[in-house]
Structure 1
């Protein structure tokens, strides 16, 4: 028995490069010369960030001594970041000091990741480089601020790139390497790690569900191939949920680690 239907091949070009192929893929393209033009991915980011803000406003609108319901859930999420990321890495004093930025990064990464498995959205806000780059630059600025505030900017830079006890002639080689890896490479690795993982996951999900579509409509609908592909797609959806949480944890943890290294630059 063969099913009749129409197969639509996936088209990622307009999703990741909107407006280059057809300006109609942009909203507000004619307003203010296109300065505020939005594509679907930007709308997904704005929607998910709005959901995050509303959630925490509702969760913390009341400050009961014994939290229940959504307040208890919200506080549990913040406590997870505070205890297992900020304080475990920076200690209680510095962990609480930098908790707002670390928690913001964690929840921003998670909420924009999770849209990749939501019906109707089906793409992570971090699958394109813009948002991961902004978060990485924020982490980079905070890292430099933490070290500069403790040591002064020039002493902090010197402590970060000059290794004590190293023979003088080796500094010519080591100092540029340390400067590049500390102040240039870190934001790039944060950006690319997040973007590449979420983009790869999105493409795999697209291919799996597209394969199911193809096998079901173009081949025999009862074939084992279509059954395997749909179950594989469902399984990978749950795996992508795990990746979304893991990437948020890794990004926030690395931010905390970089801050800790800046605060203790003279001791490394």
Structure 2
């Protein structure tokens, strides 16, 4: 096992001393290796993904196992968290008849995406787990397999493809619509689901990091009192962007689960 020094603010901050001027951050700030095991590099995001997943599992199991008619404060908070994806997403999108069997998947996805996103605003990490494309892809693969499996199971192999073309279309346009729907179901949906989450977390973290490092440059390395005073509004904007990111992190978790539920609902539908 080869240890690699973890990234820190001091090592990630752009070099600004020595008269070199401010250097804007690059995507390299997302590469934070911790150590290597057998040629596999374990990164900061991987470690926090494991910690967050383990904590979520323990908390959810304990609060569910000890549920009572008169809830404790912890159970009350957990039920509020659980009811949001249950009632706002699953039941409304999938329908009262079918939604319950998909709750474990939808609630788990909502919790994982939300807390993976929030790692970008947590002072110990300040780096969203979903800012690495592998994590959105992994969760998207699960969604991809589930909704296609449901469609094949419900309609059969041929029927699943037939339902992509609405009935009553002129014969000449049906092949075009089928091709467009095929691309949508098998390429566009998973691609946009993963890239939307990744892009928002990646871009948001870059903007926050830009303001933080620019503020540090103005305060510590810039010449002149006016430039040093510029650090105050720059740090203020960093704080504003962190608050904005908190909203985006929640919304992206909601959108990810909402789209997942809509894909499942489409696979369960009797018609197009």
- 1:208-223 aligned at under 5 Å gives the runs 208-219=211-222, 223=228
- Is 1:15–1:41's contact at 8 Å kept on the other side of the alignment? no
Q: Which runs of 5+ in 2 are unaligned?
A: 1-10, 15-23
Post-superposition Cα deviations, 1:191-218, rounded to whole Å, max 9, x if no partner, equal 0000000000010011010011011112
Greater share of residues in helix = 1
Alpha-carbon separation, structure 1, partners of 2:82 and 2:248:
20
Pairing partner for 1:247 from 235, 249, 252: 252
Alpha-carbon separation, structure 2, partners of 1:134 and 1:7:
27
- Is 1:26–1:37's contact at 8 Å kept on the other side of the alignment? yes
Aligned CA distance change for structure 1 residues 100 and 7 (closer, same or farther; 3 Å)? closer
Pairing partner for 1:198 from 179, 195, 201: 201
Post-superposition Cα deviations, 1:17-69, rounded to whole Å, max 9, x if no partner, equal 56xxxxxx35233x3xx2x5311221122122222223213322411112121
Pairing partner for 2:266 from 228, 245, 261: 261
Alpha-carbon separation, structure 2, partners of 1:13 and 1:172:
42
Match of 1:129 in 2: 133
Pairing partner for 2:96 from 88, 92, 97: 92
Q: Give aligned pairs, total.
A: 251
Give the deviation of 1:7 after TM superposition: 10
1:152 and 2:160 aligned: no
Runs of 4+ in 1 over 4 A off after TM superposition: 10-15, 220-223
Pairwise CA RMSD: 2.1
Match of 2:44 in 1: 40
- Is 2:212–2:238's contact at 8 Å kept on the other side of the alignment? yes
Alpha-carbon separation, structure 1, partners of 2:237 and 2:64:
39
Post-superposition Cα deviations, 1:209-266, rounded to whole Å, max 9, x if no partner, equal 00110111123577442111111111111111111110000000000001111111x4
Pairing partner for 2:72 from 65, 68, 74: 68
- Is 2:25–2:206's contact at 8 Å kept on the other side of the alignment? no
Aligned CA distance change for structure 1 residues 236 and 15 (closer, same or farther; 3 Å)? closer
Alpha-carbon separation, structure 2, partners of 1:26 and 1:12:
19
TM-score, structure 1 normalization: 0.87
Greater share of residues in strand = 2
- Is 2:31–2:43's contact at 8 Å kept on the other side of the alignment? no
Higher relative contact order (CA 8 A, sep 6+): 1
Alpha-carbon separation, structure 1, partners of 2:141 and 2:221:
47
- Is 1:215–1:221's contact at 8 Å kept on the other side of the alignment? no
TM-score, structure 2 normalization: 0.86
